Amino acid sequence: MLSGGYSAVLQAQSRDQFRDEVVRFARKLGFQTVAALTVVEHGVAGTDFISVDNTPQGFAGTFQDSLLMRRDPVMQHCRRQSVPIIWDQQTYIGQGAGELWEEQARFGYNTGIAMALHLPEGRHFVLGVDRDRPLPSDAAELQRVVADLQLFAVHAQDAALRLLLPEPMQPERPSLTPRELEALHWTMEGKTAWEVGAILGISERTAVLHVNNAMHKLGCASKHAAVLKALRLGLIH
């Protein structure tokens, strides 16, 4: 089930586990190669690029040239927009970069889908899946694939920020009390405030208070957003 992939990548506890979940999800969608790229801009100090992928041997070295990347229409689209791009040979020919497609097609990069999430504080998450055969010809089926990939990207970027960024770039971890963490954990499990109270031996009102306090400390407007952020920060599992 694809839905299991969303929670699995969000709960990844290491870079290797994150990579495995990204590759597994891409293959379930029918793509043999995938790249997940986290970009952090530092202004005049430059930009950090941190990626996990299953790039074929020989391909990465061929396309590390920054000049080639600036000519790549897929990368340029992701730099400027958040909507996904569905690309094939014509995408490159139309931008005068047909020879780039010819080169990457040797490694199985014939067609694919890519998208970028542009986040606050100069952070970006780019996810691209590729394969050596045409994409589904049925428009409805193709849209389902794109929608699945978009939802996965939302979950994957949370894990990427937590697992791939060096410690100085990590977001600050707020200090939650044990009760607040327990309340969030049971909220994650789908329990209502009344059920959380019964499990913890406290009143429903107190359970709501703990969740609200956690939301405030995490800077979230809803309990669901608070659960996702707590997972990303490794506060709950």
Determine the pLDDT at residue 235. 84
Rg over CA atoms, the chain: 20
CATH architecture of 178-232: Orthogonal Bundle (1.10)
Map tokens 């978009």 to a residue: 150
Tell me whether domains 2-169 and 178-232 share a fold: no
* 3-class state of residue 126 by DSSP: strand
Q: Which two tokens stand for residue 25?
A: 């999800």
Give Cα separations from 2 to 24, 75, 154 (angstroms).
10, 26, 14
Determine the pLDDT at residue 61. 62
Determine the pLDDT at residue 208. 94
**Prediction pTM value:** 0.72
Torsion sign (Cα): 8, 115, 52, 27: positive
Determine the pLDDT at residue 59. 78
Mean pLDDT per 10-residue interval, the chain, length 237 residues? 75 92 96 93 80 84 62 91 95 94 92 92 91 95 95 90 71 83 92 93 94 89 84 78
Homologous superfamily, domain 2-169:
Transcription factor LuxR-like, autoinducer-binding domain (3.30.450.80)
Domain boundaries, the chain: 2-169, 178-232
